[in-house]
Structure 1
Amino acid sequence: MAHPQMFEDDDPALVRVRELALALPAAAMKVSHGRPAFWTQPRGKVFAYYGGSVKVDGEYVQHEQSIMVLLETDEHDALLDDPRVFVPAYIGGSGWLGIDLPDVAAGGWDEVAELIDASYRRTAATKLVAELDDRG
């Protein structure tokens, strides 16, 4: 049974995340478990998800406008005390973190771009990271 779509295509936060993620070399988007997943071709490794949830007292609490990223240990640990950060259900045990996104109109997207970039660099093929570095 397919998962229902859990996002709106025209969500302004998703539009911005999509712009940032798809600007990376060989990046693509697919829907996985009802949510946008950003991955690199041809390896097929996901570097970011849009939207997530946490399990609280047996119930799932949704974080609709958030990203989930896989960071290096030091970056991961430094973010754990941030009130915007959550350990997502299912993939949090593998080191993924969720970060609630800022209001698109309020700015603050430089940090989001850096987190997406860091997760991409952790999961993408060496050749793609070199291509990204060559862009400057």
Structure 2
Amino acid sequence: MAHPKMFDDDDPVLARVRRIALSFPDAADKVSHGQPAFFTTKVFAYYGGSQKLPAGGHVRHDASLLVLAPADERQALLQDPRFFTPMYLGPSGWVGLRLDDQTDWTEVRELIDASYRLTAGVRRVRRLDAGDA
């Protein structure tokens, strides 16, 4: 059974995330597990995710960005209350950032950039560094 679609194509926050993510070399998007996913060979960002609650259950963060965080930055990011450990992907080093009216879009681009560099491969990262999009 396919996952239900869990986003609105007309979401302006998604549109902004999509513009940033698709500006990276060879980036494309697809729907994975009902959420927008941005990838080259591997996924480097998702829009929307869930967080497991300590008392049980979970909470959805529809307007959020999930990225693979560099190992040396992950714990520092999770100390910031805007960030969360996403269900399923958290144990693999992914973090979630809640997006709202106060979102720093430069920070979003930096997070996507770091995740892209961890997943895209050497040739694509060279193209990114050369300014090729």
| TM-score for both structures, normalised by structure 2 | 0.94
3-state secondary structure, aligned to 1:76: helix
Could you tell me which runs of 5 or more consecutive residues in structure 1 were left unpaired when the two chains were aligned: none
Change (3 A) 1:71 1:9: same
Say which SS state the counterpart of residue 52 (structure 1) adopts: strand
Seq. identity, %? 60
Q: 2:97 is matched with which residue? A: 99
Distance in 2 between the 1:8 and 1:128 partners?
A: 30
Please state if 1:81 is matched with 2:79: yes
Residue number in structure 2 paired with 1:54: 51
The residue type paired with residue 93 of structure 1 is P
Matched AA of 1:76 = R
Q: Is the 8 A contact 1:84 1:99 kept in 2?
A: yes
Q: CA deviation at 1:134?
A: 0.3
Q: Which runs of 5+ in 2 are unaligned?
A: none
Do the aligned partners of residues 107 and 97 (structure 1) sit closer, same or farther apart at CA in structure 2, a change above 3 Å counting?
Answer: closer
Q: CA, structure 1 residues 107+52, in 2 after alignment: closer, same or farther (shift >3 Å)? A: closer
Distance 1:78 1:59 in 2: 25
Q: Alignment partner of 1:4: what SS?
A: coil
Q: How many residues align?
A: 131
Aligned to 1:8: 8
- Tell me the CA shift for residue 78 of structure 1: 1.5
| TM-score, with length taken from structure 1 | 0.92
Asked whether the equivalents of residues 47 and 119 of structure 1 are also in contact (C-alpha less than 8 Å), the reply is: yes
1:113 matched to 2:109: yes
Matched with 2:30 is 30
In the alignment, the residues of structure 2 paired with residue 23 and residue 2 of structure 1 have an alpha-carbon distance, to the nearest angstrom, of 29
Moved over 6 A (4+): none
Deviation at 1:107, TM superposition (A): 5.5
The 2-side partners of 1:107 and 1:116 are apart by: 14
SS of aligned partner of 1:2: coil
CA distance in 1 between partners of 2:110 and 2:79 (Å): 18
Residue 125 of structure 1 is matched in structure 2 by 121
Following superposition, the deviation at residue 101 of structure 1 comes to 1.2
Aligned mates of 2:131, 2:23 — CA distance in 1? 11
State the match for 2:18 in structure 1.
18
